[in-house]
Copies of this chain bind each other. A is one copy, B any other.
Amino acid sequence: MIPLAQVTSDALSQRLGESGLRSTPQREIVYDILIKRRDHPTADEVFARVKAELPTISLATVYNCLEALVQCNLIRQVNFDRGPTRYCPNLHPHAHFHDEVTGSTYDIDLPPGIVEQLKAQLPEGYAVSDVEIMFRGKTRERRPATVEHTTR
């Protein structure tokens, strides 16, 4: 298994604290769920998985937890067209590939420099906080070696 950039419970608590947020059992579990299976789940899917461990959690809390984790940069949101927002704990610079047939989303690693090259296209006075790159298409049927995971 490839070692994944993740964060211990203590570190999570610290990161939340830095953004003026508290660590709670709900937030820890939501983060764990995302780390355990990195398949870009929707809030609803996270809700379903978390309920297995903490049946009393509410959907509103899942949204709150996801927002908290986004806010302190532990996870990223991913949107494809009009679909529901998906959540991604991969913090390395990467693009997303959305398979239009299966609905799966894959992470695509980007070589260093290419994002800077893109930013260089911006006119004077455009201050970028974030760049997002998304591919749409389909994957040839295969058992992916390099690929992260499948949704649904």
- A63 smallest CB distance to B (angstroms): 11
**Shortest Cβ-Cβ A-B pairs, 8 listed:** A125-B140, A128-B137, A130-B136, A129-B137, A132-B134, A127-B137, A128-B135, A133-B133
Number of copies: 2
Q: CB of A111 within 8 A of chain B? A: yes
**A contacts with B, residue count (CB < 8 A):** 42
Residues of B near A138 (CB, < 8 A) are 127, 129
Contact A123 B137 (CB under 8 A): no
Contact A118 B95 (CB under 8 A): yes
Contact A136 B125 (CB under 8 A): no
- Further contacts, 9 of them, CB under 8 A, given A108-B121, A114-B121, A132-B134: A79-B80, A79-B81, A97-B126, A114-B118, A117-B117, A123-B144, A126-B137, A126-B139, A130-B137
- Indicate whether A125 sits within 8 Å of B109 (C-beta atoms), given known contacts A118-B133, A133-B133: no
Contact A135 B139 (CB under 8 A): no
Q: CB of A91 within 8 A of chain B? A: no
- Indicate whether A127 sits within 8 Å of B110 (C-beta atoms), given known contacts A79-B79, A81-B77: no
